[in-house]
Structure 1
Amino acid sequence: MKIAVYGASGYQGKLVLAELAHRNIDMLLAGRNAKRLREAAATVGTADTLQRVADTDDHDALVAAFRGCDAVINCAGPFTSSGPAVVRAAIAAGCHYVDTAGEQLYTKAVFDTFAGAAERAGVTVIPATNDGCVPGDLVAHLIAERVQPIEEITVSHFVVGGVGFSRGSLRSAVDTMDTIKAGGLSYDDGDWRIGIPARLAAVTLPDAPQPTEMVKCPLSEVVTIPRHVPVRHVESLVDAAVGAQLGTPLTPQIIDSLPEGPAQEDRRTQRFTYLVDAIGHDGRTARGTVRGHDTYGSTAVIAVEAARRLVADGAEPGVLAPAQAYDPTSFLAFLAPHGISWTISVSAARRTDPAGNAQENRRLRPT
């Protein structure tokens, strides 16, 4: 098994390299700059590993870089502008593909653009194999097995601790600022739409005395969950403090002056909680809770395992959501030793929203 890492010299890319090395998986480093690739390989102790230079505007070079590999992990953002070229090249080279993207419209574009090509090539493409989308998508599928049919799902992200964003994440935020300010897509009545106001302004964390103020945020779970869960409405929220950080205007010069990414000690003290709240047609509610630490380190673990499983176990060809490619319980169990836990609770028919407010039952309208 050989896995290529594109964007290997970036902050997230080096964490992925370290995870591959830790698991003794053969790798290939690919990126735009030969000097930076050599430095990245030396940093993670893989100086003798094969390295290939290819830019995203050179399709033939990208395809040649991936030849002989079984899968590609793309860590090179902003994905909205550069990601499609890497997906296209991976498919042309006959490689399975995953990426660490957190850009919602890019995730949807991968489904819309590459499904047919991936099927014809016999490869599987899974965008957004990151700390939030994979566990959230898998937990949503498990909730749907317990509560059917589901009327609406709200995905909420909470991150606390001293960790900032990497330069790559900030560049992605700048590249998609209009989408962030608009709140991104919601899934509503059978299609994805932008500009739909959030149904909730606050969400109560488990055991929290008071609700937390929330804002709409373009998370990829809105794109993936409706592909395997019959549901009428899906939206995604983030706590208002993180939303304010994402919406802060930054120039390229300011980003370049910042550290490459959070220090290891800061990552160690960070904590995240991701909630998947579902309301069933029969009035029952369900909550999936995912907890962990170190978003960037967790993303490296998840992306490597996502690519490894595609090579070792296979999946249907095409562009898939995580729960369409992997057994949810098995993948989530794999994450437990890496500090990621999950629970699902299902209520009786008395219905409350994620903010803890009682609601009247509403019938599911046909789509």
Structure 2
Amino acid sequence: MRIAVYGASGYQAGLVLAELIRRGAEPVLVGRDDARLRQAATRAGMAGAERRVAATDDHRGLVAALRDCAAVLNCAGPFTLSGHAVIRAAIAAGCQYVDTAGEQFYLRTVFDTFAAPAGRAGVTVVPAANDACVPVDLLARLLAEAVRPVEEMVVSHFIAGGGAPSRGSLRSLAATIDVIRTGGLTYEGGDWRTGVPPRRTSVTLPGASEPTEVTRFPLAEVVTIPRHVPVRRVESLAEAGLTAGLSAPLPPEVVDALPEGPDEEERRGQRFSYLVDAVGADGRQLRGIVRGSDTYGSTAVIAVEAARRLVADGARPGVLAPAQAFDPRDFLACLAPHGIGWRIGGADG
């Protein structure tokens, strides 16, 4: 299975390449700089891997680089700046598309811009195949099946440890800082709106004796969940301390001087908890929770699995949320060997 990795010299892409090799796939490294691609291939232990040079402002060259690949896995953020170019090339090349984006407004534009072109071309586009959006979106589908009809869903993210974000993540944060500071989108009454006050200011994690302060944060799941769950309201929250830390971007020269990303020991020490609180029209409440470690490593596993399934099993053409492209229980089950677990219980977790 030949899968192109765009932005192959980046930090997240290095983990994706390692996962592709582990699964016996044939990666094709694509990016703007051949020297950096060569270094990335050597680091991944695949010095002889095929490399193709193409920039996002060279549509014809990018299409040619993807032409004979079954899928492309785009790891080149900030996606807000260049993601559309890779999607256009994938559609033109007839290549299934997956990316690791977490940028909320970018994700909405992908659905708005490419649903029809991808459908006509017979290409499936699944953006935001990362550690959070995929398992949370799948879990939301299972919650919706248990709580019908759904009135409200609230998604909350909690991450502890793991060292500093990668340089790529910091650049993506800087490119979307205005959205982060305003809290992003809330889905309400059939449309996505900005400036909607959150209904919760704290969330109590399962097993915790005290609530944690939270604030609005622009998560991708607010865009994906309403695509397949009939729901009146979806909002997204994150721990207030995390939000505050991400609301002050570092200058580019400081980012450039930082390590490429957290080392393996730091990643192993990280823990994440993603909650989905669902309220039915009858007042019934259920909570789903996803827990795991190593957001970057988990993203690599999830993105590669998403690309593999699109190639091996197929999905209807167009731009799809994870739960529209994949069977929720089956995909979540395949994550268990990688330390990602989930459960659904009462509102108290």
TM band (smaller chain):
over 0.9
1:125 matched to which residue of 2?
125
Give the partner amino acid of 1:238: A
Query: How far is the alpha carbon of 1:297 from its aligned partner?
Result: 0.2
Aligned-partner Cα distance in 2 for 1:244–1:45: 39
- Return the alpha-carbon distance in structure 2 between the equivalents of residues 168 and 150 of structure 1: 36
- Structure 2 segments unaligned to the other structure (5+ residues): none
Task: List per-residue Cα deviations over 1:207-241 (Å, max 9, x = no partner).
Answer: 10011000111000000000100100001011012
Whether the 8 Å contact between 1:284 and 1:346 is mirrored in structure 2 is no
**Conserved in 2, the CA contact under 8 Å of 1:335 and 1:341?**
yes
- Correspondence list, 1:172-251, <5 A: 172-251=172-251
User: In structure 1, what is the Cα distance between the partners aligned to 2:21 and 2:194?
Assistant: 41
Is it true that 1:264 corresponds to 2:264 in the alignment? Answer: yes
For 1:63, the aligned partner's letter is V
Runs (4 or more) in structure 1 with deviation over 4 Å come to none
AA paired with 1:69? C
Instruction: Specify the alignment match of 2:75 in structure 1.
Output: 75
Corresponding position: 1:139 with 2:139: yes
Q: Name the % identity.
A: 66
Residue matched to 2:41: 41
What number of residue pairs does the alignment pair up?
Answer: 349
Contact 2:287–2:345 at 8 Å: present in 1 too? yes
Q: CA deviation at 1:65?
A: 0.5
Residue identity matched to 1:274 = Y
Check if 1:299 corresponds to 2:299. yes
Q: Provide the TM-score with structure 2 as the length reference.
A: 0.99
Q: Secondary structure at the match of 1:337?
A: helix
Taking structure 1 as the reference length, what is the TM-score of the superposition? 0.94
Amino acid at match of 2:236: S
Deviation per CA, 1:231-288: give whole Å up to 9, x if none. 0000101101211121123110010011100011000010000000011111110100
**SS in structure 2 of the partner of residue 316 of structure 1:** coil
Instruction: Could you tell me which runs of 5 or more consecutive residues in structure 1 were left unpaired when the two chains were aligned.
Output: 348-353, 357-367
Q: CA RMSD in A?
A: 1.0
Counterparts of 2:146 and 2:154 in 1: how far apart (Å)? 17
1:363 corresponds to: none
Q: How do residues 19-34 of structure 1 correspond to structure 2 at under 5 angstroms?
A: 19-34=19-34
**Deviation sequence 1:78-104 (CA, Å, 0-9, x none):** 000110000100110000101000100
Q: 1:77-131: per-residue Cα shift (whole Å, max 9, x none)? A: 0000110000100110000101000100001100000001100110100000000
- Distance in 2, matches of 1:245 and 1:44, equals 32
Contact 1:286 1:344 (8 Å CA) reproduced: yes
Tell me how far 1:15 sits from its aligned partner.
0.5
